[in-house]
Amino acid sequence: MSVDEVYVFRPFKLIALLCVFLALCLDVAALLSPAWVTADHFSLSLWESCSQSSQSSQSGGSWSCFSTLTSDWQIATLVLLGAGAVATLVAFLVALISFCRGTQRQQYRIVAVFLFTAVVLQACALVLYPIKFIDGTVLQTYHEFNWGYGLGWGATIFMLGGGILFCLRTDLYEDAMY
C-alpha cells in the first residue's frame, strides 16, 4: 500500500455473521422457552401445556402438565422452527468457515439462501402458532403470547438482517477509484 492509497474497511460481512450468531442464540432460547402463551393458571410452550386446577390455585398448589406433541399444528410449528434453526446453524457454519478462510464471495450467496429459507420457515411457524392456538383454544380468560414467542420473532428478524447483509456486494466499491 502506497502513501496515496487508503483502504476502507466495510464490516458488513462481520456484522452479518454477528446477526446470524444472535439469531441462532435467540432461536435456541425460543425453542427451549417454557413460556410461549401464559394466562391465569395456564402455560403453554412448544413442548408441554401446563394448567393449575381451580381448587389448588387458592393454595398455590400443583400444576399438571402434558405433552403438546399430540397436536398436529404444534408438531408442525416445532418442525418448522427446528428446520429454521438447522438452516441458520448451517448458514452460520458456512459463513464462519468462509470468513476465516477468506473465500467469501462464493459462499455468501449460499449463506444468504440458507438464511432466507430459514426466515420463510420461521415466519410460517410464527404465523401458524397464534392462528391455530386461538382457533383451537377454549381459554375463557385473558392470555398473552409471552417472551418465548417474541424470541422467535427476534431470531427471524436477525436472520433476515443477516441475509440482507450477506447479499450486499462490497467488493464493487473497493476499486482504485476509492
Spatial contact of 159 and 95, defined as CB atoms under 8 Å apart: no
Is the confidence at residue 177, as pLDDT, over 50?
no
Task: Compute CA distances 48 → 24, 64, 74, 161, whole Å.
Answer: 22, 10, 10, 31
Residue 56: inside a domain, yes or no?
no
**Amino acid, res. 142:** Y
Q: Which among 120, 161, 153, 162 is positioned nearest to 33, based on CA atoms?
A: 153
Q: What is the mean pLDDT of residues 90-102?
A: 87
Residue 2: inside a domain, yes or no?
no
Alpha-carbon torsion angle 33, 23, 120, 124, nearest 10: 20
Provide the number of structural domains found in the chain: 1
Residue 50: inside a domain, yes or no?
no
Q: Are strands 37-39 and 42-44 parallel, antiparallel or unpaired?
A: antiparallel
Residue 47: inside a domain, yes or no?
no
What domain range is 167 assigned to? 12-39+71-173
List the grid coordinates of 121: 420457515
The CATH number that applies at residue 28 is 1.20.140.150
SS3 label, residue 64: strand
Residue 30: inside a domain, yes or no?
yes
Residue 28: inside a domain, yes or no?
yes
Q: What is the per-residue pLDDT across 35-84, written as a single tens digit (0 to 9) for each?
A: 888 887 778 888 888 887 766 445 566 778 888 788 888 899 999 999 99
Q: What is the per-residue pLDDT across 105-125, written as a single tens digit (0 to 9) for each?
A: 678 888 999 999 999 999 999
In sequence order, the 6+-apart residues with CB closer than 8 A to the CB of 147 are: 33, 35
Residue 148: inside a domain, yes or no?
yes
pTM of the model: 0.81
User: Cα–Cα–Cα angle for 16, 17, 19, nearest 5°?
Assistant: 60
Residue 164: inside a domain, yes or no?
yes
Q: How far apart are CA 171 and CA 8, in angstroms?
A: 11
Angle between helices 104-136 and 147-167 (to 10 degrees): 150
Is the confidence at residue 171, as pLDDT, over 80?
no
User: Comparing 122 with 2, which gets the higher pLDDT?
Assistant: 122
Q: What is the per-residue pLDDT across 3-43, written as a single tens digit (0 to 9) for each?
A: 566 555 568 888 989 999 999 999 999 999 888 888 877 78
Alpha-carbon torsion angle 96, 98, 101, 104, nearest 10: -130
Q: What is the DSSP letter of 7?
A: P
Q: What is the pLDDT of residue 175?
A: 46
